[in-house]
Amino acid sequence: MARLTEFQGKQLLRGAGVAVPRGELARSAAEAAAAAGRLGACVVVKAQAWTTSRKAQGLVRFADSAVGAGDAAAAILAARADGFAVTEVLVEERVAIATERYAGIILDDRRRRPVLLVSARGGSGIEETAREHPESVAELPLDAVEGLPRHAARELWRRVGVHGEEQRNLAEACVRLAAVARAVEARAAEVNPLVFTGDGRAVALDCRITVDDAAVFRHPELGIDVARELGHPPTLLERIAWEVEKDDYRGTFYFLQMRDAVERGQRVVAFHGAGGGGSMMGMDALARHGFAVANFCDTSGNPPASKVYRAARILLSQPGVDGYFGTGSGVASQEQFHSARGLVKAFLEEPLAVPAVVRLGGNGEEKAIEILTGYTKALGVPVECYGKDTPVDACAARLAALVAAFTPPPPRPPRRGPGPVERPYTFSTPTGEITYDHAVCARCQSKACVAACVPQILALSDGVPVLKVTREDAARGRCTECLACEVDCAALGSEGGHVALEIAGLDEYRRARGLG
């Protein structure tokens, strides 16, 4: 996750020369007790979870002995923070506090600059402080390249009434905090409280750093495995989704679980958006019709059909949903039949067992509607598709009507893989593998694959489809994974084509949850 834990943040600060309390991470009561022993017994034990007001939630506890530290850790590790388990605590020496201040580097969208924000009143929430004691808060826009001049930091602290040795030391800490924020490309780096100790040092007692998701690729040293600002530790399904997206720069796939453990009848639906604005409108429309969403998902920016397919498979791995709802802005610049083919492949394989309403308005929408509704008739569950002239509210209303009238079909086995192949012809795509059974293809009347192939890389040779580009070129991207040679073949031809698109970890995830 692109939010660093307090411990990670403090390590960065320590590396930049900002004083932080001595501390150790612990994952059990025994580890915490041992750490407390090494640190001198008088410690504070803090949950490593990104949540506000940890103290009030009992997620920060004080101890005066190793045994007490173990007990405190046990209590915290048994608790949940915002509905998610706490897996780590930070055991730290306690520091003699003279004054508590606040310092933060944030990015200001108005000035388009980093800003140093300080307050003479640390400890509580900075928004609250700004409201109630505006005179104690001051800010300074920074130059993104040159950083924070030391003299400007001193002057800023003077403005909020901090003087002398404390002013000099807090200013020095701020210069280093600004350097850390720049170095890790933070969207926010806050120290609250930044304390001045009895022995004259500035010490960071807490630290919250959010790294820009888009810059995570430049910072392997941070060990961020899921570059998404989720607000909770990534779920298993979110990790699987991130693996799909991580190295595939063709369009965007964003996936965020809003709730786990959904049951039929709760009016929770799988949500498949396209584009941020259209997605938000779609969720608003669902809310107006009494639906909640199991997840947020966005496939946009002209993704290949294969990416939309993988997204749909992941969405359908959320058991208990009452429906599947897809919508974008309604007037998409991208060609919508790619999304339609991705959805058809996922729906047929699953097979889809709840009503689906998908709004695929925009370029190529007539073809998209024909593919999505025409090719899914055999499913026996309602799949409706609309274009730009049907408002999103009307689509949400259709889903409500379909869900109300729906009787689930008897369970059917998933339909994946090509089955036994008599005369295989295979080649690699950028993220998968295509197999034609030339024995089937030879008998096929339509040869629909050749005409439907979007990049037009297939030709007939002795009556069967073969590549007319090299295998290397196909694998390097001449094959755009439009999925027509499976999807159109299944609907119009003889089911001789199959595109294998792995989703790492998904089969295991589904087996563990009793899904097919």
Partner 1 sequence: MAILVDERTRVLVQGITGREGRARARLMREYGTKVVAGCTPGRGGESVDGTPVYDTVLEAVEASGGIDASVIFVPAPLVKDAALESIAAGIALTVLVGDRVPVWDVLEIARAAERAGVDFLGPNTLGVLSVGRGVLGMIGGRAESARSWFKPGGVGVASRSGGMTSSTGYYLSRAGIGLSTLVHVGGDGIVGLPLPVVVRRFEADSETRCIAIFGEIGGSQEERIAEMMASGEVTKPVVAFIGGRAATQGVRFSHAGAIVEGGRGTHAGKVAALREAGATVVDAFDELPGAVAKVLEG
Q: Which of 299, 377, 390, 375 is nearest to 341 (CA)?
A: 375
Choose which of 56, 83, 127, 445 interacts with partner 1 (CB under 8 A).
127
Listed in order, strand segments (DSSP E) in 198-322 are 202-204, 208-211, 252-257, 268-273, 292-293, 295-300
Task: Quote the least distance from Cβ 93 to partner 1, whole Å.
Answer: 27
Total of chain residues touching partner 1, rule CB under 8 A: 70
Q: Is residue 352 near partner 1 by the rule CB under 8 A?
A: no
Q: Which of 166, 167, 175, 174 is nearest to 197 (CA)?
A: 166
Q: Is residue 432 near partner 1 by the rule CB under 8 A?
A: no
Q: Is residue 290 near partner 1 by the rule CB under 8 A?
A: no
Only segment of 65-73, 109-117, 305-313, 422-430 that touches partner 1 (CB under 8 A):
109-117
Judge contact between 116 and 139, C-beta under 8 A: yes
Only segment of 30-38, 272-280, 316-324, 408-416 that touches partner 1 (CB under 8 A):
272-280
Q: Is residue 307 near partner 1 by the rule CB under 8 A?
A: no
Choose which of 19, 41, 67, 115 interacts with partner 1 (CB under 8 A).
115
Choose which of 214, 451, 459, 460 interacts with partner 1 (CB under 8 A).
214
Rounded Cα distance between 311 and 234, Å, is 17
Choose which of 113, 150, 158, 412 interacts with partner 1 (CB under 8 A).
113
* Residue with the two structure tokens 């030709």: 459
Q: Is residue 275 near partner 1 by the rule CB under 8 A?
A: yes
Measured distance between the N- and C-terminal CA atoms of the chain, rounded to whole angstroms: 29
Judge contact between 143 and 113, C-beta under 8 A: yes
Q: Which of 10, 6, 7, 9 is nearest to 20 (CA)?
A: 10
Strand, helix or coil for residue 487: helix
**Number of C-beta neighbours around residue 290 at 10 A:** 10
Q: Is residue 342 near partner 1 by the rule CB under 8 A?
A: no
Choose which of 44, 91, 180, 274 interacts with partner 1 (CB under 8 A).
274
Angle between helix 236-246 and 305-315 (nearest 10): 180
Is the Cα torsion angle 376, 378, 379, 384 positive or negative in sign? positive
> If 0-12 CB within 10 Å is exposed, 13-18 middle and 19+ buried, where does residue 247 land?
exposed
Closer residue to partner 1 in complex, CB, 281/340: 281
Contact letters (x/-) for partner 1, 360-379, by CB under 8 A?
-xxx----------------
Q: Output phi, psi for 288, to 5 deg.
A: -65, -25
Contact letters (x/-) for partner 1, 176-195, by CB under 8 A?
------x--x-xx-x-----
**Number of C-beta neighbours around residue 371 at 10 A:** 26
The one-character DSSP state at 474 is I
Residue type, 315: L
Rounded Cα distance between 503 and 457, Å, is 25
Judge contact between 449 and 479, C-beta under 8 A: no
Q: Is residue 206 near partner 1 by the rule CB under 8 A?
A: no
Contact letters (x/-) for partner 1, 128-157, by CB under 8 A?
--xx-----x-x---xxx------------
Q: Is residue 210 near partner 1 by the rule CB under 8 A?
A: yes
Rounded Cα distance between 432 and 501, Å, is 5
Closer residue to partner 1 in complex, CB, 390/446: 390
Choose which of 98, 258, 459, 460 interacts with partner 1 (CB under 8 A).
258
Contact letters (x/-) for partner 1, 2-41, by CB under 8 A?
----------------------------------------
Task: Quote the least distance from Cβ 433 to partner 1, whole Å.
Answer: 23
Q: Which of residues 491-510 bind partner 1 (CB under 8 A)?
A: none
Q: Output phi, psi for 326, to 5 deg.
A: -125, 140
For the chain, give the longest Cα–Cα distance: 90
Q: Is residue 125 near partner 1 by the rule CB under 8 A?
A: yes
Closer residue to partner 1 in complex, CB, 394/460: 394
Closer residue to partner 1 in complex, CB, 218/264: 218
Choose which of 58, 277, 380, 409 interacts with partner 1 (CB under 8 A).
277
Task: Quote the least distance from Cβ 455 to partner 1, whole Å.
Answer: 11
Provide the β-strand partners of residue 461.
464
Rounded Cα distance between 2 and 222, Å, is 9
Q: Is residue 391 near partner 1 by the rule CB under 8 A?
A: yes
Strand, helix or coil for residue 178: helix
Choose which of 334, 373, 429, 435 interacts with partner 1 (CB under 8 A).
334
Task: Quote the least distance from Cβ 130 to partner 1, whole Å.
Answer: 5
Q: Is residue 332 near partner 1 by the rule CB under 8 A?
A: yes
Q: Is residue 456 near partner 1 by the rule CB under 8 A?
A: no
The percent helix, strand, coil of the chain (3-state, each to 5) is: 35, 25, 40
Choose which of 26, 33, 95, 117 interacts with partner 1 (CB under 8 A).
117
Residue numbers at the binding site for partner 1 (CB under 8 A): 52, 104, 106-110, 112-115, 117, 125-127, 130-131, 137, 139, 143-145, 182, 185, 187-188, 190, 210, 212-215, 217-218, 229, 231, 249, 252, 256, 258, 274-278, 280-281, 283-284, 286-287, 296, 300-301, 328-335, 361-363, 388-389, 391-393
